[in-house]
Amino acid sequence: MVEQLQKLVALQTVDLKIQEMERTKDEIPQRIVALEEDFKKEEERVQSLRLEVEKLQKERRVKERELEEEIDRVKKAEARIFEVKTNKEYQAVLKEIENAKKLNREREEEILGILERLEEMQQNLGQGEKGLEAQRKECQRQVNELRQKADSFAEEMASEVQHREAQKKEIPPDLLNKYLMLLEKRQGIAVARVRNGVCQACNMNLRPQLYIELQKQDRLIFCPNCNRILFWENGSTKPKET
């Protein structure tokens, strides 16, 4: 019986290892998605900077054209001043010129403001694009590394699964079925160690009589609370440290 229990404990050890590997394996695609999402976010940020720069450049062109037209208009008005016949007309043209010049100064100020903003935005965009390129490479590198890791991990897992199948063959079918049923119903733990009289899977204190029985290791003992197969931590079934 000790020998069978030892085999069950060994099988449980492999099963736990495989469960842990499955969890790690599932994490890899999530990490890849997270990396790609980070990159996408940065890409969107840089793209919105780019659009902002384009918008400002367009605004600048419109304002500059407007200013040119207005300067032209002032020149024409200035030429007209020699043709006016009456004082009233003269005053009106002067006023028109004065107003136009004032508006043009405001336009110039506006254009200067746009140029300043444009310079700053272009600097940000340049940095963003450079950073994005570096991030693209880094993201690609990490994704490749994770994919490679997933591949070698899959191989490692396959060999553990093979190992488990070989171990299963060593266990009598009735006992194996019992084990597999418990494994399924008890969150992947069918065999529980007992430490100081306590089932380590459900924390139940064993009755002293049962604990003594367990230590004899001459028959299978089940936890009265969680029904798992018990093994005495200090007994000869103690699993090898892995």
Residues of this chain that bind Zn ion (CB under 5 A)? 199, 201-202, 204, 223, 225-226
Closest approach, Cβ 219 to Zn ion, in A, equals 17
Q: How far is residue 78 from each of residues 32, 90, 121, 128, 188, measured CA to CA in Å?
A: 69, 11, 39, 49, 94
Closest approach, Cβ 24 to Zn ion, in A, equals 27
Tokens of 198: 């306590």
Closest approach, Cβ 210 to Zn ion, in A, equals 11
Please say which residue, 13 or 124, places its beta carbon nearer to Zn ion.
13
Closest approach, Cβ 2 to Zn ion, in A, equals 20
What is the end-to-end Cα distance of the chain in Å, rounded?
Answer: 23
How many beta carbons lie within 10 A of that of residue 172, not counting itself? Answer: 10
Please say which residue, 74 or 189, places its beta carbon nearer to Zn ion.
189
Closest approach, Cβ 204 to Zn ion, in A, equals 5
Please say which residue, 139 or 229, places its beta carbon nearer to Zn ion.
229
Please say which residue, 148 or 225, places its beta carbon nearer to Zn ion.
225
Closest approach, Cβ 21 to Zn ion, in A, equals 25
Q: How far is residue 168 from each of residues 4, 6, 7, 179, measured CA to CA in Å?
A: 11, 12, 9, 10
Let me know the angle formed at the C-alpha of 133 by 131 and 138, rounded to the nearest 5 degrees. Answer: 90
Please say which residue, 67 or 226, places its beta carbon nearer to Zn ion.
226
Please say which residue, 97 or 190, places its beta carbon nearer to Zn ion.
190
Please say which residue, 150 or 202, places its beta carbon nearer to Zn ion.
202
Beta carbons within 8 Å of 119's beta carbon, 6+ residues apart: none
- Judge whether 214 and 232 are in contact, CB under 8 Å: yes
CA 99 vs. chain centroid, Å, equals 59
Q: Comparing C-alpha atoms, which of 149, 176, 211, 148 is closest to residue 21?
A: 149
**DSSP-derived secondary structure letter, 189:** -
